[in-house]
Chains A and B, each alone.
Chain A
Amino acid sequence: EAQVTQNPRYLITVTGKKLTVTCSQNMNHEYMSWYRQDPGLGLRQIYYSMNVEVTDKGDVPEGYKVSRKEKRNFPLILESPSPNQTSLYFCASRPASSGYGYTFGSGTRLTVV
């Protein structure tokens, strides 16, 4: 089944403790992206990647890192999480051709206390 898989689905952590949210897609898509979803603010792009070793900042990149060492994987790293990073996170992927929508993962609910 074609899908984007995120792990974990739920995570509670403490301020300052580094964490990684994994994302993997099996559709051979070139583009991958991370979004956060907050009430009243909709979906905001954190980082995106156009292919292996090619990444760029989205609208809200502060406090996050990403890497794209393999085409299928695009982990999101929070080196020193803070409470304002408590949110619902989505990974998504799509083909490189313009005019194609994203396939989203099921989300990761992160709480930083």
Chain B
Amino acid sequence: GENVEQHPSTLSVQEGDSAVIKCTYSDSASNYFPWYKQELGKGPQLIIDIRSNVGEKKDQRIAVTLNKTAKHFSLHITETQPEDSAVYFCAASSATSYDKVIFGPGTSLSVIP
């Protein structure tokens, strides 16, 4: 069945360094790729998304890239800060599958001050 793989499962970086999280999806019909941040005790929060007709999108310190041929997409966080520490989930969904959203297993990011 469809699945989304996500790596690494845990990531520790020094404050100010960059962090990269990579995801791979299996369903070639996927055309929307959101990223969520989940802080302790809270629900996931959408932080950035990308559609299949775009290769890269940036929002301040956060960027997402998409390679549809390779079925890869990645989250890049630059100049990391302690408040970036959280669990990050990638997801993939297809417009042909109504509301079928497949989430990756998550990456726990720790930013060390």
Contact = CB atoms under 8 A, between A and B. Distances in A.
Interface of A: 4, 31, 33, 40-45, 48, 50, 56, 58, 90, 92, 98-99, 101-107
Ranked nearest first, the 5 interchain pairs of A and B with the lowest CB-CB distance are: A104-B43, A101-B46, A101-B34, A43-B103, A42-B105
B36 A101 contact: yes
A107 B43 contact: yes
Interface string B5-38: 0000000000000000000000000011010100
A interface, over-half SS: strand
B99 interface: yes
- Chain B interface category by residue count: 20 to 34
B98 A102 contact: no
Contact of A42 (B42, B89, B95): B89
Given A33-B99, A42-B105, A50-B99, A98 B43 contact: no
Interface in B53-81: none
- Residue among B32, B44, B105 with the most chain A CB within 10 A? B44
Contacts of A43: 44, 89, 103
A43 B101 CA distance: 10
Contacts of A90: 43-44
Nearest to B34: A101
Contacts of A106: 41-43
Nearest to B95: A98
A103 B36 CA distance: 10
Contact of A103 (B46, B89, B95): B46
B98 A104 contact: no
A45 B34 CA distance: 16
Given A99-B32, A99-B51, A101-B34, A40 B105 contact: yes
24 contacts: A33-B101, A41-B105, A42-B89, A42-B103, A42-B106, A43-B89, A43-B103, A48-B99, A50-B99, A58-B100, A90-B43, A90-B44, A92-B43, A99-B51, A101-B46, A102-B46, A102-B101, A104-B36, A104-B44, A104-B45, A105-B43, A106-B41, A107-B42, A107-B43
